[in-house]
Copies of this chain bind each other. A is one copy, B any other.
Amino acid sequence: MNKPVNQAEFQTPVVTTGPLPASTKVYTHPAADPTLSVPHRSIALHPSANEPDVKVYDTSGPYSDASVTIDVEKGLPRPRTDWIVERGGVEFYEGRDVKPEDNGGATGRFLAREFPVRNTPLRGVGDAPVTQYEFAKLGIITKEMIYVAERENLGRQQAVEGAQDRVDGGESFGADIPAFVTPEFVRSEIARGRAVIPCNINHGELEPQIIGRNFLVKINANIGNSAVASSVEEEVEKMVWATRWGADNVMDLSTGRNIHNTREWILRNAPCPIGTVPIYQALEKVNGVAEDLTWEIYRDTLIEQCEQGVDYFTIHAGVRLAYIHLTANRVCGIVSRGGSIMAKWMLARHEESFLYTKFPEICDIMRRYDVTFSLGDGLRPGAVADANDRAQFAELETLGELTKVAWEKGCQVMIEGPGHVPMHKIKVNMDKQLKECHEAPFYTLGPLTTDIAPGYDHITSGIGAAMIGWFGTSMLCYVTPKEHLGLPDRDDVKVGVITYKLAAHAADLAKGHPAAQLRDDALSRARFEFRWEDQFNLSLDPETARDYHDQTLPKDAHKTA
């Protein structure tokens, strides 16, 4: 039951465009495939610095390219579709029809407008390799692999000076960070299951990205309609806005009506991987009654989302019937929405979860589109009191078992993690995840290191995120200041993204990522030399830095010092 939107009143989403201050979008072309254009952001410094521009990882897509005209009604170009068709093993087909329940039965003025362009979906054919995991296993380097290698290197042709020293000087807890990322290294990491490139073959708009312990730590921002607030337009802009400030990934956690149409608008305009939790939509299709969920409804929802191009699915297949009683004495029970939906279903029916029993079939579906598993932590702790308990770890062990099944089926896999965990219990989460889940990438929410600061949980969790990122987590799911209290608005999204970006970067520095410190050093030199504009422009949030500066100190005296 989102905000009712009359089709006639539907506004074309207005998105934020244009470069960040002093920044230019630059594209480099990998030696291994010069037809590819890999984006980076180049920050110009004041001539007095006598330093080259600083290139930084760019998540913002075409929106920040001054030379691109954005038309949200058309969506972004889909160059990746050609790569996929070219390498074969896939077919266009008449996809599933959109059903009224896909949009929660919304009709008339309550139904959000359809996205104006319809694309014919692709799917894998027979046993031909489709997923990046399958190609990697076969020793084949894909365009996606070449692309992400170039992206991780920021377009450099060789390692930066002192790269090996930085790697050696870091503490990466057994990770294997290279001084320079080659496409072959990317392939080998994917083949070992240690990294994923979430890239549904129906997400032609995607700028591929790699998630793994031996690469830069990534962050995810959650967006989504809810039952009480926000419209399609707002969600599209939230996605653009989050990636503008550094979100590598976006999850669309929409509930209520219009989920299908909202997601289509987001996907067709998304340069980043989009993740979802399909059980949320399936639940809407049974009017919110968990007990009424069926495998068939869920299966149909998976296919619906596979055809749209969702890049990864959170699937809480590790919440088994036998584990539910383990949460009985918890302070906060089951706090994962997906976990509690399935617990309700299992308890009502006294039956094992279909997410578990049908797991091989789920794999078969997801493989055909190369949708990456994000095996959900439905029993994650919702309070520090519940951290690292038997319920949590029993599920984690099951996720390890399922990881092997998914790999055997040819799928890419990452594993979700907690939650609320005090600092001294964080590392064991990472160590156990690596062991139980065979080094599949870990993707954690926070963790929040204390429960006593609602309103500041971006910080309580940013502390845990920086630490677990350092210990080996590959992607950090952001938390905004509104966590536990309400839905994040635009400002909250930005604060959440910047907080997690700095946490991820702190982790990269500590792991000894070979080029991470270059930006710190450039900013510190600017600070030491009182090049204020360079300081602002090199910072994660130039607007806020400039704004704070101007509030209290005389401007020009400092700015020209």
Chain A interface residues (CB < 8 Å from chain B): 170-171, 228-229, 331-333, 382-385, 420, 422-424, 449-456, 458-460, 462-463, 466-467, 470, 481-482, 484-487, 489, 498-499, 501-503, 505-507, 509-512, 517, 519-521, 523-525, 527-528, 535-536, 538-541, 544-545, 547-554
Contact check, B549 vs A485: say whether CB atoms are below 8 A apart: yes
Report which of B450, B466, B525 forms a contact with A463, defined as CB distance below 8 A. B466
Q: Which residue of B lies closest to A541 (CB)?
A: B455
Report which of B171, B423, B505, B540 forms a contact with A507, defined as CB distance below 8 A. B423
Contacts of A540 in B (CB 8 A): 452-453, 456
Bound CA span A539–B510, Å: 31
Contact check, A548 vs B463: say whether CB atoms are below 8 A apart: no
29 pairs from A and B in contact (CB 8 Å cutoff):
A331-B525, A382-B524, A382-B528, A383-B521, A422-B509, A423-B467, A423-B510, A424-B510, A449-B509, A450-B505, A450-B520, A451-B524, A452-B505, A452-B519, A452-B538, A453-B502, A453-B541, A454-B535, A456-B498, A459-B459, A459-B462, A459-B499, A463-B463, A463-B506, A467-B467, A482-B551, A485-B545, A486-B553, A487-B552
Q: Which residue of B lies closest to A506 (CB)?
A: B449
Q: Which residue of B lies closest to A519 (CB)?
A: B452
Contacts of A482 in B (CB 8 A): 548, 551-552
Report which of B383, B385, B462, B545 forms a contact with A455, defined as CB distance below 8 A. B545
Contact check, B450 vs A485: say whether CB atoms are below 8 A apart: no
Bound CA span A523–B420, Å: 13
Bound CA span A552–B384, Å: 26
Q: Which residue of B lies closest to A457 (CB)?
A: B502
Bound CA span A462–B466, Å: 11
Bound CA span A63–B450, Å: 27
How many copies of this chain? 2
Contact check, A331 vs B466: say whether CB atoms are below 8 A apart: no
Bound CA span A552–B229, Å: 8
Q: Which residue of B lies closest to A332 (CB)?
A: B528
Q: Which residue of B lies closest to A426 (CB)?
A: B510
Contact check, A521 vs B385: say whether CB atoms are below 8 A apart: yes
Q: Which residue of B lies closest to A538 (CB)?
A: B452
Contact check, A332 vs B527: say whether CB atoms are below 8 A apart: yes
Contact check, A481 vs B517: say whether CB atoms are below 8 A apart: no
Bound CA span A487–B548, Å: 9
Contacts of A502 in B (CB 8 A): 450, 452-453, 456, 459-460
Contact A520 to B451, CB < 8 A, known contacts A422-B506, A463-B462, A470-B424: yes
Contact check, A466 vs B423: say whether CB atoms are below 8 A apart: yes
> Shortest Cβ distance from A462 into chain B, in angstroms?
6
Contacts of A487 in B (CB 8 A): 552-553
Contact check, B520 vs A385: say whether CB atoms are below 8 A apart: yes
Contacts of A510 in B (CB 8 A): 422-424, 449
Q: Which residue of B lies closest to A422 (CB)?
A: B509
Contact check, A452 vs B539: say whether CB atoms are below 8 A apart: yes
Q: Which residue of B lies closest to A524 (CB)?
A: B383
> Shortest Cβ distance from A40 into chain B, in angstroms?
16
Contact check, B499 vs A456: say whether CB atoms are below 8 A apart: yes
Q: Which residue of B lies closest to A502 (CB)?
A: B453
> Shortest Cβ distance from A174 into chain B, in angstroms?
14
Contact A524 to B332, CB < 8 A, known contacts A452-B538, A517-B385, A545-B454: yes
